[in-house]
A and B are shown apart, each in its own frame.
Chain A
Amino acid sequence: MNASTEAIMTKQVTLVLKQTPSLPVEAESINPEAVAGKGVEEIKRLPLWCGNCQESVGAYFDVEVTEGVNPSAADGEELPELFLKGDLSRFQRLGQGVRAGLMVIQGAAGFHAGAAMRGGRLVIQGDAGDWLGAEMEGGLIQVEGSTGHFAGAAYRGETKGMTGGTILVRGNAGQRLGARMRRGLIAVGGDCGDTPGYGMLAGSVLICGQAGIRVASGMVRGTVILLQGTPSRAVFARDGAEAQALLPTFYYNCTYQPLFWKLLCVQLAQAGFPLPAGSPGVSFRRYSGDANEGCRGEVLIADAKT
């Protein structure tokens, strides 16, 4: 590159899995910031922990660094795009604590992917393990498959789950989705397990498919939206079919069209998250709860008539 062109060299880093580890690997060192400004050999030397043994990226991955030109980028402004290829379901903490940049996993990801993330974008083109985006503070996580339990949740003993950012899961989610989350948005295109929104402090959880039991139990504030209406496993019914799987500490308010839902639909559409046709015009039955926690949260259940 001729310096007189004022074009900036940028890189795309690709890690191709060549060996599946026999034990889970702690891989928090793999993120766009960690590989920025490094050559192939430097990236191969990045540390990984497998069990109680320290290993390196080069032990499991082939590394490719592709140079490109970005005339609009200022020197040092842009991070390389990081691509990981292969079944990384045994690699934990991928993208943990990332502050900026794009990281694409072309396969499955293990536990804690995007946990404590602060910014940037993490795309997982397969399934993700438990604790996806746990305690994340910002940024965007997009999962094209399904995710495990505790997505966006608080770790054991912590009081707050995710405090910002967005998690979009096209498939299903496990239990305790968004448990104790403080801020942000989680959207699940499929079904989810029991107690979604458990102990929520604020924020929004959208479940397009079937939800498990005890939705939003212990909720303090925030919003859980059930777009498909009646959950499949209705227990604790207080008012027959109307109360569905909600605990008796959730009280019915009214059926209406909250305007913020239309804004949320626009945001999700812009992020490429598919919603059923006609979603912006859906009416919701609004329940307030959990009465044990001040009754300041809400569960919005799509009204079957709309």
Chain B
Amino acid sequence: MPMNGVPMNGLQINGVEIEDTFAEAFTMRCVRVTITAANQTWARHAAEAATGFAISVIGCHMEAGIEGEARQAPDGRFGLDCLFFAYSKEEMEKQLTNRCGQAIMTCATSACYDGKLPELQGEEAGLGKLNIGGKLRFFGDGYQASKVIGQDRFWRIPVMEGEFLIQEEFTVGKGIGGGNFLILAESGEAALAAAEAAVQAMRTVRGAILPFPGGVVRSGSQVGSRYKFLRASTNTAYCPTLRGRLRGDSKTSALPEGVNAVYEIVVDATTASAIREAMRLGILAATQSPGVRCISAGNYGGHLGKHHFHLKDVLGL
């Protein structure tokens, strides 16, 4: 870390120091769901409900976000691709069944389809199928009907509006969760402006989502807590209000002088290349925002996550 504003490793982008560290990420199961509706408004209602409260697997059992507009929705209507991430296939199936049933089926005019994972073709060993529509069909109370179109089976569940259509099986693959970087800035305003710029740039990357509210994390966490009943607690080393307080506890703040606010951007993606590209675009955008002093990344010493994204490699430094 830079001390007194002097870079220690000499890595810089747009005059902002890039710490020589890495983001530690994890293999997660991922599914792409294409949600369509009669128009953009209702597709977004369904997508936002389905991906809501899917911030972190720690407390939500799943991470999710809207990837972008579906390029070719199966039914020809407006559609949104959503990505869902969970730690296991079993948890994914459970969570996705609930979300499709509660958030999509209940939404006017909506339907949902397997968005497949074409970017993971060639990695068949990691691909599988989850039975989602085949479970939701029982809501039809015996009046549900299926229709095989092409190679895929779809379930038609009678609802008060007409029919809810859902594909029987959804493709599940191995994605990556937990790509991240930290924006250290002189003020809260500067940090937020930089984070917003980063998020805007990162959302152009297909195959990647930013699961946190607005794509930005203000309450980064550390593993463990002084309280035994908590698995994670606030990332004290990056809390500016604890810079001096930590000294009293013989601990060290990670914040250089002049940094008064930190935001973290977390990215989940179907592939490592999508993580890298999202991080690259995000960091470049953040460093162009005034008041940013340093870019860092969160890791656990490299002992927990299989995927390490070194900032200098991501940025080609």
Contact = CB atoms under 8 A, between A and B. Distances in A.
Contacts of B76: 262, 265-266, 280
A256 interface: yes
Interface string B146-178: 011110001010000011010000000000000
Contacts of B149: 185, 260, 263-264, 267
Contacts of A262: 75-77
A258 B111 CA distance: 11
A204 interface: yes
A280 B76 CA distance: 9
B242 interface: no
Contacts of A223: 147
Nearest to B75: A262
A256 B156 CA distance: 14
A260 B162 contact: no
A183 interface: yes
B35 to A, nearest CB: 13
A259 interface: yes
A280 B74 CA distance: 12
A221 interface: yes
B77 A260 contact: no
A265 B149 CA distance: 10
Given A266-B74, A266-B75, A259 B150 contact: no
B173 to A, nearest CB: 23
A298 B148 CA distance: 15
A123 B262 CA distance: 66
Nearest to B146: A202
Contacts of A264: 147, 149
B147 A260 contact: yes
B150 A260 contact: no
B11 interface: no
Contact of B154 (A254, A260, A266): A260
Interface of A: 183-185, 203-204, 221, 223, 254, 256-260, 262-267, 280, 296, 298
- The 5 tightest CB contacts between A and B, nearest first, are A262-B75, A259-B165, A260-B147, A256-B162, A263-B149
12 contacts: A203-B148, A204-B147, A254-B162, A258-B163, A259-B163, A260-B147, A262-B77, A263-B154, A264-B147, A264-B149, A265-B76, A267-B149
